[in-house]
């Protein structure tokens, strides 16, 4: 494990430069809760950069780098990619972006991710956007969208939902205790959900740092 982490650290130029003040919003919600759609709307209306931990890992694997090969081997062996590896990829994406406000989607996946992110980057999220959606509604959406994803069958959906509940709810509880969770009723139509989301982001976009 050390070698994977070391390679990722070497790859990502250390910690964030102190002069870069960034705003980070974590976006969490179960599979089919509509996170992707709403993130796209936030990017369009408020100028955030959308970072998906899963996309960054896939891009690193595709790049063929030494780090990407190690990540691919870990996934093949059914091992969990260490938090530090994902965090360094997120950190590098933040550093290389010309932006100073970010949506981090689908991360932290668990309490260990959360603690490691804050410790490594020194960044505490502005808030956590939690798309709350019933299991029945998420199942219905995932089965009806039929985007050719082989993981969208009923058993896999239920497993993914169970993993989300077990892993991510402790993160939501932690940030809730800090007054940082903004819970959105994601069962409503897309336009209504975005009206609620807009109300949360408008004060941030008006804020002068």
pLDDT in tens, 128-167: 999 998 888 888 888 777 655 555 577 777 887 888 888 8
Domain covering 2-194 in this structure, CATH number: 3.40.50.300
Q: Using N-to-C axis directions, what is the helix angle for 154-177 and 111-121, rounded to 10°?
A: 50
> pLDDT value at position 16?
47
E strand segments, the chain:
23-29, 49-52, 101-105, 127-132, 181-185
> pLDDT value at position 123?
93
Longest dimension (CA), the chain: 47
- Is 82 marked within a binding site? no
Task: Please enumerate in sequence order all residues whose Cβ is within 8 A of that of 78, keeping only pairs 6 or more positions apart, or say none.
Answer: none
- Is 35 marked within a binding site? yes
- Is 37 marked within a binding site? yes
- Is 10 marked within a binding site? no
- Is 161 marked within a binding site? no
- Is 114 marked within a binding site? no
Q: What is the mean pLDDT of residues 51-76?
A: 91
- Is 183 marked within a binding site? no
The structure's pTM equals 0.80
What's the pLDDT band for 119 if we cut at 50, 70, 90?
very high
Spacing of C-alpha 135 from chain mean position: 20
> pLDDT value at position 160?
78
List the domain boundaries for the chain.
2-194
H/E stretch holding 5 = helix 2-11
- Is 34 marked within a binding site? yes
- Is 58 marked within a binding site? yes
- Is 140 marked within a binding site? no
How many Å apart are CA 177 and CA 206, to the nearest integer? Answer: 26
Closest CA to 186 of 150, 149, 140: 140
- Is 68 marked within a binding site? no
> pLDDT value at position 148?
53
What would the pLDDT profile of 4-42 be if each residue is shown by its tens digit? 444 343 444 444 444 468 999 999 988 888 888 999 999
What would the pLDDT profile of 33-56 be if each residue is shown by its tens digit? 888 899 999 999 999 999 998 899
Would you list the DSSP string of 41-79?
HHHHHH-PEEEEHHHHHHHHHHHT-HHHHHHHHHHHTTP
- Is 197 marked within a binding site? no
Q: In what order do the strands lie in the sheet with 181-185?
A: 49-52, 101-105, 23-29, 127-132, 181-185
- Is 188 marked within a binding site? yes
């Amino acid at each position: 494990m050390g070698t994977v982490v070391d390679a990722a650290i070497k790859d990502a130029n250390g910690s964030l430069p102190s002069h870069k003040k960034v705003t980070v919003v974590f976006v969490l919600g179960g599979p089919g809760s509509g996170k992707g759609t709403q993130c796209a709307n936030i990017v369009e209306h408020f100028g955030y950069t959308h970072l998906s931990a899963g996309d960054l890992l896939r891009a690193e694997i595709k790049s063929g780098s030494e780090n990407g090969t190690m990540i691919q081997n870990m996934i093949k062996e059914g091992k969990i990619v260490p938090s530090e590896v994902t965090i360094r990829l997120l950190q590098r994406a933040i550093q290389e972006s010309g932006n100073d406000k970010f949506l981090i989607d689908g991360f932290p996946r668990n309490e260990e991710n959360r603690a490691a992110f804050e410790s490594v980057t020194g960044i505490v999220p502005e808030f956590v956007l939690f798309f709350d959606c019933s299991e029945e509604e998420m199942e219905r959406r995932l089965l009806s969208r039929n985007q050719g994803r082989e993981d969208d069958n009923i058993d896999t959906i239920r497993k993914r939902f169970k993993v989300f509940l077990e892993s991510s709810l402790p993160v939501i509880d932690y940030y809730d205790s800090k007054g940082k969770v903004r819970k959105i009723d994601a069962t409503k139509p897309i336009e209504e959900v975005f009206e609620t989301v807009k109300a949360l982001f408008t004060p941030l976009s008006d804020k002068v740092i």
